[in-house]
Amino acid sequence: MPKALLLENIHPFASENLRQHGFEVVTTKGAMDEDELIAALDGVDLLGVRSKTNVTEKVLAARPNLTAVGCFSIGTNQVDLKYAGKRGIAVFNAPYSNTRSVVELVISDIISLMRRLPAHSHHVRGGVWDKSAAGSHEVRGKTLGIIGYGNIGSQVSVLAEALGMHVVFYDIEEKLALGNAERAETLDDLLEKSDAVTLHVDGRKSNTNFFGEDQFEHMKQGSVFINLSRGFVADLDALKSHMDSGHIAGAAVDVFPVEPKKSGDAFSTPLSEEDNVILTPHIGGSTLEAQEAIGHFVSHKLLDYWSNGVTSLSVNLPTLNMNPCQGAVRIAHLHDNLPGVLANVNHVLGAENINITAQALATEDELGYVVTDVSSRPSAEALEKLKNLQGTIRVRVL
């Protein structure tokens, strides 16, 4: 019986789906460090993680028989994607499943900060009745600056416009503006004109400390700041300094540079001392609807790869879609992208008079992936020859 390990309280649909397809499934609520994960992966074929468990080169090297990793999240920076590809371990994620949940939280944060709801709530809880409109604003007519105009940023743009906001965005790639949104030529230009700034950049290492002292300095007086992207992209000490000075009027932070591995662990941040601040524990995509959608999407991707060799939406292997097997068995051959591999595969099969009923090849960067349906199962000797072909990374018979 194949085995799957699902960490970090992944939605029950995923484990149910895998069990229905013959997997033994082990689940945990918390994350694991490297040594814990290596031990837990003994005999495991499929691994599922969220954002707290790091699947490093050390982990992957220690468990080369792992077939695939499912990131039940938008991001994949918690996995060493390049090394996983070199070991023939496919990685999948859910790039769109929790978009709406994150977008709704961004919009609610913008409204709450501009109305100073966190500050008013804090005062009432402290026994102070401060019924004042000072510093409180409608979002209608205000300018929202969106940094990163991908799946989430562009949808924030649409909803913000529906609320009557003017939207400007900045992205290092060319992006189509939705509605009446305008592209800012420079980041500083966006910061200087925006009443609210929200970050939606990805988890690449080059984005570490992307938004620091210089960027906060360029923000408009009395503006608010929102970060629901990655904890390491914003300098929270610089943010606190600008809030203490009165330059930044409010902030909402859902992601932090260092976060606990499991719910219930102690956590502290200097921002908790601020008045008009919303601090949430990395829950941007944590709605029941989003988590169920992610559990559904990623578990199906893992199963499709396990059973059919389909790599559609894999983030580290060449993309190959295949219909159900049209022969007796299907052979998935992942290899270095070298000339002649396909011919060599076919030569090995032809030497046994095995008829090929369907075949597809995809290459991407350093990797090649060929899936072959054959009329009869190759002998153990033929399979060994396939594994020993120059450039072979992994061979699976499905």
Active site residues: 230, 259, 282
CA-based nearest residue to 255, from 194, 220, 210: 210
Task: Give 137's contacts (C-beta < 8 A, 6+ positions apart).
Answer: 114, 115, 195
What Cα–Cα distance (Å) separates residue 367 from each residue in 23, 170, 269, 349, 394?
29, 33, 43, 22, 11
Q: Provide the terminal-to-terminal Cα distance of the chain, rounded to the nearest Å.
A: 14
Residue 93 phi/psi, 5-degree rounding, is -140, -170
335 sits in which H/E element: strand 329-336
Residue 327 C-alpha from the chain's centroid: 36
Query: Is the Cβ–Cβ distance between 198 and 144 less than 8 Å?
Result: yes
Query: Is the Cβ–Cβ distance between 331 and 397 less than 8 Å?
Result: yes
Residue 233 phi/psi, 5-degree rounding, is -85, -20
What's the number of CA atoms in the CB half-sphere (13 Å) around residue 108? 14
Instruction: Dig out the tokens for 70 from the structure.
Output: 């499912």
